[in-house]
Structure 1
Amino acid sequence: MQKTYLVEILSRLSSKQMRELGDFIKSPFFNKNESTEKLFEYLRNLHPEFRQEKIKKELVFSKLFFPAEYNDSFMRMIIFKLTELTEDFLAYSEMSKTLAAKELYVAQSLLDLGLDKSAKKTITHTEKKLNQIKLHDSRYYERKFELEKLKDIIYSRSYIATTVKDKPDKSLLAESDNLTYFYLIMVLQRYRYLLNKSFTVDTEFELDFLPYIMSFLEKEGKPYLQNKVLSLAYRQVKLLLDTSNEVLMYELKKELCNDATPIEKFDRRDGLTILANICIEKVYSGKKEFYKMMFEMNRYIVERNLYNRVQGGYFDKDVFTNIVIIALGQNEIKWVEEFIETNYTKLPPDIRENERNYCYCKICEKKGDYKAAKEYISKVAYTDVHMKVNARITRTTIEYELGNIEEVLNELENFRKYTQNDKLLSKSNRKICGNFIKFVNKLCKARYSFKVNLQALKEEITTCEMVNHRRWLLEKTDELIQRKSI
């Protein structure tokens, strides 16, 4: 039972959830099997570690059912039953905390029983409850839509056209209006995700319907933008379609970093991620002022615990790396060290040490301790497309600082082959890395040749549209200019 799906689920539950699951299993409505309850109580005492030697099937059976002889089929059956109950509990818990879910099911059941008046009371009560909510996101409009559907059932059952007073009014539009809000929020958030993907991997999606949606919201659909959630999603998509709009960048940053802005946690995080990706592109193009914006956003992300992609998930690795690199760029070494030690255990276990080694390598590099940096980077594995790029660049800069030019040239050749062959690498990343490789090659050549025009090289680096480590490249060029002028 060591590696079963059941143990995997139970190990992720909190102590409070385990108590609630215990109550759920003890309820005769949900469970009438005493053996299943016994198994849960045994496992509950081992939560959350579930030490392997304590959960072997044979041992558990002997603890629970001694002196009976071990029966594997029976043991598998109660494990299966407990797994089913645990899944039922998760579904029940999710429904209990989902906005108006219970009330909608009750109203629908009352209508199915023909109790229209009681259903109407439930609907009215639920509407009042929803109207008190300030956050009008996609789920809010989905619930409003579902309520209007139920109201329409009651209306259609009781409607009799007798006089002009019985003429249908605009209230019948509420169902479609709520559906429109729901759709616009959901589809723009999805388009936002797809457009943002192109910053990290080589993707080109055919978003055929997007121009029509944007045109609609800019014209006759403009009143829909009074909704803050929809307005933010629309403006983020607009920015992704035209990243040159820096006024819009600062406008969005101000709203997303304001706790008073009524949006869900995940929506705030996704918006800040988009701004961070665009900021990185701006920095690569030579606009240093966007380092400050990134650092301020990253600090906000850490302080507000916006670092995981899904609720209850691990600290996002790419966000973690970005926070470290940007803060070091602002010379916040002490803050970075405290950040790493406080948060690295929140990373996924399988990449935790790898990420920590990479980040400490960057700290040592910032401090000028290149031997220690080399030791750290030697422990870093190329786990994903981002680390394949970041670690290769870091290895190159460390070897250059140590004066190991032959190693630098080897790293550059391997890096060049990687950028040519990895189909996942985005076009912009391929361009940024290619320029870095080109300029480091020229720096290596310039160390041993007076024929290289260093002023021209400096100008080329400065005016290059996009390049990784521009600041470092310019610093190394200035060092060579100073050395050769002596």
Structure 2
Amino acid sequence: MEKAKLSDLLKALSTRERTRFREMALSPFFNKNPKITALLDFLLSFAPDFSSPKLAKELAYQAVYGPGSTFNELRINNLISDTLQLGYQLLAQLELSNRPALERELLLNPLLDRRASRHLRQNARRMKQLTRQLPSRSVQYLHQTVQEAYLLDRAELLRAPRRYNPYLQAHSDQLDLYFSCQKLRAACDMASRNRAINAGYSCQYIDTVLSWHQQPGSPLRQWPAITVYAEAYAMLTTDKEAHYRQLKVLLQGHRGLFPQEELQDLYDYLQNFCVKQINSGHTAYYREILDNYKEMLAQGLLHRQGMLTQWTYINIATAGIRLQEFKWTEWFLRTYREELDPENRENVFTYNLAALQFEQSAYHKTLQTLQDVDFSDAFYHMSAKIIQLKSYYELGEEEALLALLEASRKYIQRNRQLSAYQKKSNHHFLKAIGWLQKAKSRGRQFGSAAPELPLRSDIQALEPVNNKGWLLDKAKQLEGQQPL
């Protein structure tokens, strides 16, 4: 049962949330089935990882229905399903408790249905207060003001149906703002994904929104969040540096307007712009990428579900190494090590630390670091072997290099985790470093007459190939030229 949805949900909950789950199960308002509580007690005894082989349906059945009970799979499946639904209800309740303005909005609907005028006025005022206290002034806030105006208009109709009230106009005006902001946000997301995967998304009415925003005196221009999204969209669709610079300025001045999720998306757009510039040959944008990452770290914008993803960790380390900020990069690697997913923490940390040490020309230290961990993931295993091979090459350890070269070839052939692209890219690297080592050991230059070994052009022709820049740099050195 360790792979069941219920176990997955319990694993995703914090310790406090699991305690709240049990409290909900004990409340007769939410749950009147004591078997659900018994099943939950059995499951929670395996917290926090829920990976024990004893976490099985048969054992759960005995714990709930008593030792010696005849196992009935349909019965336990139904009980598991009911417990899962209670878990979903818990998440909804937790979300509601974190959004008091929404909670008050939901309260107004039944009060309106019951024409409870005295309660309506009091709770309507409270809803307005809670809406104004929302920390952001972006999509969520505008949506809340739309609902607020709509409910206030309904309440006013009950009190004075034949008199003008300002809430219908406010509802229309706020709806325009909300639509424009949400439309721009969706348009940015579409433009970003179209660039990444050529998805072909099309955003209707976006030109109308942008035209309205550009008009002098437009109400859209009074909302900085809308201006930020308009600038992000311009950057994503034109690739002009001026829009990138302006978006950075706007974000620095108005980051407090956005909740974390929206800020993360906006900074991701900045980073994607920088990556595209780097891929176009503008390597100066590595500085922009690292500066943006530092800003995001300072603002707490890089964590997902409380952890740093391995890819973000690698990207930050790569940028730091590229810019030769070695001291800061090592500080980052060690400081944020514990914030990686425990499942791949050692692989990710060790690989990146070894990559850093290699770039510092600490080849012996690099090899020692890579000996301290057994890489369980095929990607990291092969990446580590490449760093080892490069270190052996730099140290002149020909025998060790050739032995590892052969072992790596066999690993690629037998491994089923590596994609076809990864296998080909790594295989070409092994071929090229073999050429380099052979040329180096013979003391020949590739540029000599009637060369017996591949020239730089042969390495250049390999596609795809891992670490191509390093390979070409070593080939130039063997030709007696200065490295790039």
One-letter code of the match for 2:179? Answer: Y
How far has the Cα of 1:109 moved from its partner?
Answer: 0.2
Q: Is 1:281 aligned to 2:281, yes or no?
A: no
One-letter code of the match for 1:263? Answer: F
Q: Is 1:318 aligned to 2:311, yes or no?
A: yes
TM-score with structure 1 setting the length: 0.73
Cα separation, 1, equivalents of 2:353 and 2:445: 29
Alpha carbons 1:110, 1:119 under 8 Å: kept: yes
How far has the Cα of 1:270 moved from its partner?
Answer: 1.6
Taking a change above 3 Å as real, the CA distance of residues 346 and 190 of structure 1, as seen in their structure-2 partners, is farther
Taking a change above 3 Å as real, the CA distance of residues 288 and 75 of structure 1, as seen in their structure-2 partners, is closer
How far has the Cα of 1:329 moved from its partner?
Answer: 1.5
How far has the Cα of 1:53 moved from its partner?
Answer: 3.6
One-letter code of the match for 1:110? Answer: L
Alpha carbons 2:287, 2:323 under 8 Å: kept: yes
> 1:448 pairs with 442, 446, 449, which one?
446
Match of 2:122 in 1: 121
Match of 2:415 in 1: none
- Secondary structure at the aligned position of 1:261 is classed as helix
> 1:483 pairs with 440, 461, 481, which one?
481
Match of 1:425 in 2: none
Match of 1:333 in 2: 326
Match of 1:269 in 2: 264
One-letter code of the match for 2:105? Answer: L
Cα separation, 2, equivalents of 1:156 and 1:26: 42
Alpha carbons 2:145, 2:174 under 8 Å: kept: yes
TM-score with structure 2 setting the length: 0.74
Cα separation, 2, equivalents of 1:471 and 1:116: 74
Unpaired stretches in structure 1, ≥5 consecutive residues: 415-420, 423-432, 452-456, 462-467
One-letter code of the match for 1:270? Answer: D
Alpha carbons 2:36, 2:82 under 8 Å: kept: yes
Q: Is 1:106 aligned to 2:102, yes or no?
A: no
- Secondary structure at the aligned position of 2:134 is classed as coil
Match of 1:211 in 2: 207
- Secondary structure at the aligned position of 1:30 is classed as coil
Give the count of matched residue pairs.
438
Cα separation, 2, equivalents of 1:204 and 1:35: 50
How far has the Cα of 1:286 moved from its partner?
Answer: 4.3
Q: Can you list the C-alpha shifts for 1:295-329, whole angstroms capped at 9, x where unaligned?
A: 121122233332245xx264334322221111111
Alpha carbons 1:307, 1:315 under 8 Å: kept: yes
Match of 1:235 in 2: 231
Q: Can you list the C-alpha shifts for 1:263-301, whole angstroms capped at 9, x where unaligned?
A: 211222222221122222333444444322221211222
- Secondary structure at the aligned position of 1:368 is classed as coil
Taking a change above 3 Å as real, the CA distance of residues 342 and 51 of structure 1, as seen in their structure-2 partners, is same
One-letter code of the match for 1:176? Answer: S
- Secondary structure at the aligned position of 1:71 is classed as coil
**1:453-472 correspondence to structure 2 within 5 Å:** none
Match of 2:21 in 1: 21
Highest relative contact order (Cα 8 Å, sep 6+), 1 or 2?
Answer: 1
Q: Alpha carbon RMSD of aligned pairs, Å?
A: 4.6
Alpha carbons 1:99, 1:143 under 8 Å: kept: no
Q: Can you list the C-alpha shifts for 1:176-222, whole angstroms capped at 9, x where unaligned?
A: 22222222222212221222234543444334533332222112674
Match of 2:452 in 1: none
Alpha carbons 2:188, 2:236 under 8 Å: kept: yes
Cα separation, 1, equivalents of 2:471 and 2:56: 58
Match of 1:192 in 2: 188
How far has the Cα of 1:17 moved from its partner?
Answer: 0.9
One-letter code of the match for 2:291? Answer: E
One-letter code of the match for 2:170? Answer: A
One-letter code of the match for 1:7? Answer: S
How far has the Cα of 1:44 moved from its partner?
Answer: 2.7
How far has the Cα of 1:127 moved from its partner?
Answer: 0.7
Cα separation, 2, equivalents of 1:206 and 1:39: 48
- Secondary structure at the aligned position of 2:177 is classed as helix
How far has the Cα of 1:113 moved from its partner?
Answer: 0.9
Alpha carbons 2:100, 2:130 under 8 Å: kept: no
Q: Is 1:250 aligned to 2:245, yes or no?
A: yes
Alpha carbons 2:337, 2:349 under 8 Å: kept: yes
How far has the Cα of 1:241 moved from its partner?
Answer: 1.9
Cα separation, 1, equivalents of 2:168 and 2:118: 19
Q: Can you list the C-alpha shifts for 1:325-358, whole angstroms capped at 9, x where unaligned?
A: 1111122334333433444564456765664465
One-letter code of the match for 2:183? Answer: V
Match of 1:36 in 2: 36
One-letter code of the match for 2:308? Answer: F
One-letter code of the match for 2:446? Answer: Y
- Secondary structure at the aligned position of 2:31 is classed as coil
Taking a change above 3 Å as real, the CA distance of residues 249 and 476 of structure 1, as seen in their structure-2 partners, is farther
Alpha carbons 2:135, 2:256 under 8 Å: kept: no
Cα separation, 1, equivalents of 2:266 and 2:208: 22
Cα separation, 2, equivalents of 1:212 and 1:394: 53
> 1:173 pairs with 161, 169, 172, which one?
169
- Secondary structure at the aligned position of 1:100 is classed as helix
Match of 2:356 in 1: 363
How far has the Cα of 1:60 moved from its partner?
Answer: 3.7
One-letter code of the match for 2:28? Answer: P
Q: Can you list the C-alpha shifts for 1:147-197, whole angstroms capped at 9, x where unaligned?
A: 222222233344454xxxx4x365432112222222222221222122223
